[in-house]
Structure 1
Amino acid sequence: MLKRVRSTPSFVLWMVGLTGLLLVSMGLGVIIGSADLSLGTVTDAILGRLGLTSGVDILDEHIVVDLRLPRVVGAAVIGAGLAVCGAVLQSLTGNQLADPYILGMSGGAALGASVVLSTGIGFGTLAGGPVVSLAAFVGSMSALVLVFAISVTRGGALMPGRLILAGVAVGLLASALSSGLIYFGPHGTAERVMFWSLGSVAGVRWNTMLLTVVVTGVTVVVVLFCARTLDAFAFGERAAASLGTNVARTRWALYALVSLCTAVLVALSGIIGFVGLVIPHLVRFLVGPLHARVLPMAVLVGALIVVWADILARSLMHARELPLGLVTSAIGVPAFIWLLRRQKGFE
């Protein structure tokens, strides 16, 4: 794991500061866009929807409450969920390159989305549209089941090394099948699949986000409850067993939980890279390896990064929105290189 190389402010100060910064950033995310709105307009629109004021412009209210607010909240939830899932999987697998997609779920989700988009069922839908989202969820969960079936031992245990290898194999198979669908699909299939695979929260609405919020919230609460167990897993199975942990059962439960959360996140937004890989390492660099600190701080940092990535995605180009995954990659790669340079590699 990455170790801290310098003293940092207390964990409480980090949490308070990041919480305030996240709230301010989410507010700016509602204000900034193709149609810039003032803080007063945003406030009036929200109060108008709540019935606390009158005379609010209907168009402003629609933009604020129905389009930008769910988009900003969705970006925060997705960033928080991916960062937490990445942190948990890095500890469970003992692999510092693990991210939420390491078990082949991104390939499975892309295959599911490709089936829909290449057949025309999802034509014209945004990433996160109901048909595409359902297909991506089914594809990611199917890939996960296949990975579990391949890697489980005769005793019913999930071995990290076998899981990773099975995940790579299933992911490559799903990618090959997706490429075949794109190649033989109708004109425009490649463009639609590529747009979905690069991620977006443009299609997030209140009604499509409820399940994601619930699943992500439950995941965060459960893994926080298991923080000490995850600390033990970082030192190996024997250390976890010495604390009275049922290693096999705990692995199954946590793998299943974070995988379900990842599938729901992918179904909502498409594939958003680097968040689940880089954020856990960044947080450990700042506050150390203990999961009681890493997990809640990963929630805030992951949410903050994706909120700002979405703001940049819809603001950098005047007449065109950038894919969210492209922006997170542009942020994540330099950040990862910086961490490696500061730490002289992983230790």
Structure 2
Amino acid sequence: MKATASRMSSPPATVSPAVAHRTTTKTALFVALALALIASVIVSAGTGQLGVPPQEVLGSLLHRIGIDWLPLPAHPAGDATLWAIRFPRVAMAALVGAGLSVAGLLMQAIFGNPLAEPGVIGISSGAAVGAGLAIVFGLTVFGEWTTAVFAFAAGLGATLLVYAMSRADGRTEVVTLVLTGIAVNAIAGAAIALLTFLGDTQSREQIVFWQLGSLAGSRWTQVLIVAPVVAFGLLAAYFAARKLDLLSLGERNARHLGVNVEVLRIAMIFVVALLTGAAVAFAGIISFVGLVIPHLMRMVLGPAHLPLVTASALGGALLLTLADLAARTIVPNADMPIGMLTALVGGPFFFWLLRRTRKRSGGWG
């Protein structure tokens, strides 16, 4: 009786300071990323040869859902420009950025190292080869989906090749992963060069578009294709988050805890190829988004994959929205390739990460 009374009168369990700090950090990061993404979308949509003030951009958005709080664009062509050109491009930037970032996060999880990324190990260039084949030979097997399907299939093939060749003694070797990626990129580059040689003038221009990466000419019909793909990829990443946490403990431990490691890897490889193929099919090769963002989010949030999926999606969308804004504004009256800008940021970051990983492992030998 006394023991029961003692248990009933005991104070409730308190949350440890470390857990409270992590929760606060996670919440603050999510709020900051979401607000920054909203601000970047509004600013990006209003920036261009026809400038639209932020309150008018918001007014146009709210007016479409029946809320007349803010004014519509004062310029006669302002509202039409926003909905026909700006909003589809901004939406595509956010979707592609989120998809590539989550793809990079999944690759780092299934390969077990921070150097994995769709562009670094050749998946993006492989997908570009598939898109190039559809363009040069005028394939229309799947209608308007033909280019996307070929990009997806080629990206999946490149992913499986890299995965198979980077495995040794039941684990994935970092050096082999990077070297295999270099080889795949080289082969894909040669294939793209051959396709450029074989194609006509229009095909060559489209292939150059894939190589440089650009969101120019994005349309709502393309957004409606990419959006379900990214949504599916995010849902798959959320459902697999706990198993990816277990996989980070090591393959043997994950198996003992009930995870079918090979099935998980193959499923996540399929998701990565789907996300990357959709992005490359409509935006070309945009490298390093999947390397920079997941690594930065992991440095802030830690290794748990459930919050990392959300943070990576928001961070990737923010990065590519800002990169697209820079591509349209750095050079007056010109549209720079967005893939070039992400490479300028991601290349030095990859170099730093490579040296950091080598130092931690005590060298590659």
Contact 2:52 2:73 in 1 (8 A): no
Which runs of no fewer than 5 residues in structure 1 stay unpaired? 1-6, 123-129
Corresponding residue SS for 2:41: helix
Partner residue of 1:250? 264
SS at match of 1:202: coil
Show the counterpart of 1:18: 33
Distance 1:47 1:139, change over 3 A: closer
1:71 and 2:89 equivalent? yes
Query: Equivalent residues in 2 for 1:118-267 (5 A)?
Result: 118=136, 134-135=146-147, 137-145=149-157, 148=160, 160=172, 171-186=185-200, 190=204, 192-267=206-281
Match of residue 4 from structure 2: none
- CA distance in 1 between counterparts of 2:54 and 2:123 reads 40
Distance 1:271 1:139, change over 3 A: same
**Counterpart AA for 2:237:** V
The answer to whether the Cα contact below 8 Å between 2:134 and 2:146 also exists between their aligned partners in 1 is no
The equivalent residue for 2:19 is none
- Counterparts in 2 of 1:99-114, with a 5 A limit? 99-101=117-119, 104-114=122-132
Q: 2:13 aligns to what?
A: none
Pair 1:344–1:176, CA change in 2 (3 A) = closer
- SS at structure 1 position matched to 2:329: coil
- Aligned-residue sequence identity (percent) comes to 35
1:36 to 48, 51, 66: 51
Q: Is contact 1:107-1:172 (8 Å) kept?
A: no
Contact kept? 2:151, 2:280, Cα under 8 Å: no
CA distance in 2 between counterparts of 1:262 and 1:27 reads 26
For the pair 1:96 / 2:110, whether they are aligned, the reply is: no
Code of the aligned partner of 2:126: G
Q: TM-score, normalization: structure 2?
A: 0.77
The alpha-carbon deviation at position 332 of structure 1 amounts to 2.0
Please report how far the alpha carbon of residue 106 of structure 1 lies from its aligned counterpart in structure 2 after TM superposition: 2.2
Using the TM superposition, give the Cα deviation of residue 177 of structure 1 relative to its aligned residue in structure 2, in angstroms. 2.0
> Displacement, 1:189?
5.7
Structure 1 residues 95 and 321: CA distance shift in structure 2, 3 A: same
Q: Which amino acid aligns with 1:205?
A: R
Query: Does the C-alpha gap of structure 1 residues 217 and 37 become closer, same or farther in structure 2, counting only changes over 3 Å?
Result: same
Say which SS state the counterpart of residue 287 (structure 2) adopts: coil
Distance 2:127 2:257 in 1: 37
Alpha-carbon distance in 2 for matches of 1:198, 1:24? 27
3-state SS of paired residue (1:226): helix
**Which of 334, 338, 345 matches 1:324?**
338
Aligned residue for 1:10, secondary structure, equals helix
The C-alpha deviation readout for 1:205-242, integer Å capped at 9, x for no partner, is 22111121111112112212221211222232112212
| Equivalent position SS for 2:233 | helix
1:171 positional shift: 4.7
Residue 98 of structure 2 is aligned with which of 42, 65, 80? Answer: 80
**Take 1:167 and 1:140, find their aligned partners in 2: how far apart are those partners?**
17
AA aligned to 1:36 is G
Counterpart Cα distance in 1 of 2:49 and 2:359 = 41
How well do the aligned residues superpose, as a CA RMSD in angstroms? Answer: 3.5
**Distance in 2, Cα, partners of 1:68 & 1:278:** 26
Structure 2 match to 1:302: 316
Larger Rg: 2
Structure 2 counterpart of 1:3: none
Deviation string for 1:51-80 (max 9, x for gaps)? 666897552112111211111111111111
Q: 1:312 aligns with which of 306, 323, 326?
A: 326
Deviation at 1:163, TM superposition (A): 8.4
Describe the superposition over 1:242-297 as per-residue Cα deviations: whole angstroms up to 9, x where unpaired: 22112222122111122112111111211101101121111111221221222211
The residue number in structure 2 matching 1:126 is: none
Bigger RCO (CA 8 Å, 6+ sep):
1
Tell me if the contact between 2:123 and 2:155 (Cα under 8 Å) persists in the aligned partners. Answer: yes
User: Aligned AA for 1:77?
Assistant: L
Q: 1:334 to 1:167 in 2, by over 3 A?
A: closer
Q: How many residues align?
A: 330
CA distance in 2, matches of 1:40, 1:194: 37
Q: Indicate conservation of the 8 Å contact 2:287/2:339, yes or no.
A: yes
- The 8 Å contact of residues 108 and 142 in structure 1, kept in 2 or not, is answered as yes
1:273-324 Cα deviation digits (max 9, x unpaired): 1101121111111221221222211111111110100000000011211001
Pairing 1:277–2:295 present? no
**8 Å contact from structure 1 (residues 107, 174) kept in 2:** yes
**Aligned equivalents of 1:102 and 1:324: distance in 2?**
17
Is the contact made by 2:242 and 2:305 (CA closer than 8 Å) also made in structure 1?
yes
Deviates more, 1:251-260 or 1:298-307: 251-260
TM-score normalised by structure 1 residue count: 0.81
Displacement of 1:110 in angstroms is 2.2
Distance 1:137 1:101, change over 3 A: farther
